[in-house]
């Protein structure tokens, strides 16, 4: 059943029906969690963590199963930035070092799909965190091997879903920019959008804000305040200078050979 639902999920994702794909993904996860709980019953009084790894481009996902006294008491997926030239062992070693440096519980055994090159050093670090020996193991057969494979499948599905969501977000952003260009009569979609606003608090103090976006992603922003009696133009001036590189900051940037932030004149 799970395999059939997974095929339907992949087909829905291929035709960009992401809502249906998410529904099918949740059904698959529900079935697999039941299977996970049943498999854990074979490890009575066992304490171990199970790691699964999936990679795509510069992204990686690590699935963690936490088993204590033979029961699955926790599961989580971690999304990571991963150098495409790094090996799986390096990615896992980096995750183990970061995660277990702060983990509240370190088990006596950690099952993984591969061992890092410096496995002895990693085990020594884990033993220091636990206070007793910790072993990194790569199971070759049996239920432990199947648990690692299951963790890997979960990691792959999560990573694929997240990448599909990222692509969908990028697609919606491009459509919105194209619609904006058509509404404003622009020859091409805008690549940079800036907004300025002034707020007055209790008729005594003004505050100006600026936000800049490139290709739909918010890049940066800033605010500046002024006292009572200050004109709107004077309140806005520090923000526009900061944006366009004017004033002393802009002159310092120019002396260092750093280009101004805006290609054209300030909009205000």
Q: Is residue 25 part of a domain?
A: yes
Q: Give residue 257's pLDDT.
A: 44
Tokens representing 45? 């009084």
Q: What is the pLDDT along the chain (268 residues), one digit of tens a residue?
A: 656 777 777 777 677 676 777 777 777 777 666 665 555 555 546 789 999 999 988 889 999 999 888 778 888 899 888 888 889 999 999 999 989 998 888 999 999 999 988 899 999 999 999 999 999 999 998 888 988 998 999 899 888 888 777 766 666 777 778 888 899 999 988 888 887 777 665 555 566 666 777 665 554 444 444 544 556 666 566 656 655 554 444 444 444 444 444 444 443 3
Q: Give residue 233's pLDDT.
A: 64
Is the whole model's pTM more than 0.75, yes or no? Answer: no
Q: Is residue 204 part of a domain?
A: yes
Query: How far apart are alpha carbons 10 and 2 in whole angstroms?
Result: 12
Q: Same domain, yes or no, for 147 and 79?
A: yes
Tokens representing 162? 């997240």
Q: Return the DSSP state at 31.
A: H
Q: Same domain, yes or no, for 105 and 233?
A: no
Q: Give residue 143's pLDDT.
A: 84
Q: Is residue 240 part of a domain?
A: yes
Q: Give residue 268's pLDDT.
A: 35
Q: Is residue 261 part of a domain?
A: no
Range of the domain at 43: 2-169
Q: Give residue 108's pLDDT.
A: 94
Q: Same domain, yes or no, for 205 and 159?
A: no
Query: How far apart are alpha carbons 114 and 55 in whole angstroms?
Result: 14
Query: How far apart are alpha carbons 194 and 210 in whole angstroms?
Result: 7
Q: Give residue 252's pLDDT.
A: 46
Q: Is residue 263 part of a domain?
A: no
Q: Same domain, yes or no, for 232 and 201?
A: yes
Q: Are 113 and 152 in contact (CB under 8 A)?
A: yes
Q: Give residue 59's pLDDT.
A: 87
Q: Is residue 185 part of a domain?
A: no
Q: Is residue 138 part of a domain?
A: yes
Number of domains in the chain: 2
Q: Same domain, yes or no, for 24 and 143?
A: yes
Q: Same domain, yes or no, for 159 and 198?
A: no
Question: For residue 26, what is the domain's CATH number?
Answer: 3.30.420
The closest alpha carbon to 143, from 88, 54, 70, belongs to 70
CB atoms within 10 A of CB 236: 21
């Amino acid at each position: 059943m799970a395999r059939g639902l997974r095929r339907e999920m992949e087909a829905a994702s291929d035709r960009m029906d992401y809502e249906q794909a998410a529904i099918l993904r949740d059904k698959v996860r529900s079935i697999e969690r039941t299977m996970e709980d049943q498999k854990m019953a074979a490890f009575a009084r066992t304490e171990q963590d199970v790691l699964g790894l999936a990679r795509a481009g510069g992204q990686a996902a690590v699935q963690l199963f936490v088993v204590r006294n033979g029961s699955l008491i926790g599961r989580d997926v971690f999304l990571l930035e991963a150098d495409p030239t790094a090996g799986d062992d390096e990615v896992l070693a980096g995750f183990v070092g970061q995660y277990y440096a702060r983990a509240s519980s370190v088990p006596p055994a950690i099952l993984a799909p591969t061992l890092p090159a410096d496995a002895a050093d990693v085990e020594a670090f884990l033993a220091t965190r636990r206070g007793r020996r910790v072993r990194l193991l790569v199971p070759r057969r049996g239920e432990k091997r199947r648990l690692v494979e299951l963790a890997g499948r979960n990691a792959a599905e999560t990573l694929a879903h997240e990448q599909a969501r990222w692509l969908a977000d990028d697609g919606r952003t491009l459509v919105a920019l194209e619609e904006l260009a058509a509404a404003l009569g622009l020859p091409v979609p805008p690549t940079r959008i800036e907004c300025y606003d002034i707020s007055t608090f209790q008729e005594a103090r003004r505050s100006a804000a600026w936000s800049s976006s490139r290709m739909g992603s918010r890049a940066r922003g800033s605010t500046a305040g002024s006292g009572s009696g200050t004109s709107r133009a004077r309140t806005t001036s520090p923000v526009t200078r900061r944006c366009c590189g004017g004033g002393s900051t802009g002159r310092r940037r120019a002396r260092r050979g750093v280009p101004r932030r805006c290609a054209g004149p300030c909009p205000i």
